[in-house]
Amino acid sequence: MAIMLTGSQSVDKSIPTPLYYQLFQIIKNQIDMGELKVGDAIPTELELMVKYQISRATVRQAVLQLVNEGYLRREKSKGTFVTRPPSKFRFIEGLRGFSAEMRSRNISYYSKVLDKRIFPAPEKVARILEIEPGAPVFYLHRLRIVDDQPFLIDHHYIPYVLCPGIEEKVADNVSLYAALEKDYKLLLHHGWREFEPVTATSKEEIDLLQIFPKTNLLYVESTVYDRDNHPINYFYALIHGKFTVDILNTSEFE
């Protein structure tokens, strides 16, 4: 049975905010506040149209955005249901690996290795890692799961000369950065990281992250260096989740 939306929130046609976005926020707030719980069915399109006096197209646009952002799921011939929203984390940007970050916050996680191998570095990878094209690199491809939800797909490239035999050390739920530091004495000192909003397009992304096509994702690309500014690791990743970034007042340290 569908759960009717409660509270005093309403759609205001006198303000410039699009009607679909107002409805999106109303439903999202109900989910965030726990008034709509995982597994609850939301009202039908017709019920939402009548309640808020808006068009079917407006309702569909709001619901589609909630589906794309992971708050709702549709089941054919059954309705639209609340699902667990994408994970959200607060962090101060640093060089701690994913595993260390999850452990520090007591968050349940799991890493599954999808592929690992040694192969000749493509031109772009060689340029970033400052090695000759075709030089051997260790490639690692993983799915990271947080609180039983697929969260992140990553791809790592490391000059193999720095870590011979690492393919025997890295497995499911084994920290790559811990292995680099412990077994190869490679200390991660600094790096750069770029973020870009994208949408899911490939079948692999959709299947691994268990999302709908065109779901909003965050693309991350990064290179990490040692103290002497030698590149150690180039990686890129797709994240189905949300982040709050803490910003520090660096003037205190000037």
Q: What is the pLDDT of residues 11-61, one digit of tens each?
A: 888 888 899 999 999 998 888 888 888 889 999 999 999 999 999 999 999
Q: What is the CA radius of gyration of the chain?
A: 22
pLDDT of residue 247: 53
Instruction: Round to the nearest angstrom and report the end-to-end CA distance of the chain.
Output: 59
Domains observed in the chain: 19-82 (1.10.10.10), 87-253 (3.40.1410.10)
Q: 100-129 pLDDT, tens per residue?
A: 666 665 667 788 999 999 999 999 999 999
Residue 9 has pLDDT above 90, yes or no: no
pLDDT of residue 101: 63
Least-confidence region, from 77-86, 162-171, 219-228: 77-86
Exposed, middle or buried, 64 (CB in 10 Å: 0-12/13-18/19+)? middle
Stretch 6-11: mean pLDDT: 66
Task: Quote the CA–CA distance of 81 and 243 in Å, as a whole number.
Answer: 24
Residue 250 has pLDDT above 50, yes or no: no
Where do we find the tokens 């030698």? 230
Q: 184-199 pLDDT, tens per residue?
A: 999 888 888 888 889 8
Whether the Cβ atoms of residue 24 and residue 59 lie closer than 8 Å to each other: no
Where do we find the tokens 């410039």? 16
Residue 235 has pLDDT above 60, yes or no: yes
| DSSP-assigned beta bridge partners for residue 110 | 145
Residue 90 has pLDDT above 70, yes or no: no
E strand intervals along 46-189? 72-75, 79-82, 87-91, 109-120, 136-146, 149-159
Task: Quote the CA–CA distance of 195 and 75 in Å, as a whole number.
Answer: 32
Q: 3-class DSSP state for residue 27? A: helix
Which structure tokens are listed for 154?
């990553």
pLDDT of residue 243: 59
> What percentage of the chain exceeds 90 in pLDDT?
45
Stretch 77-84: mean pLDDT: 85
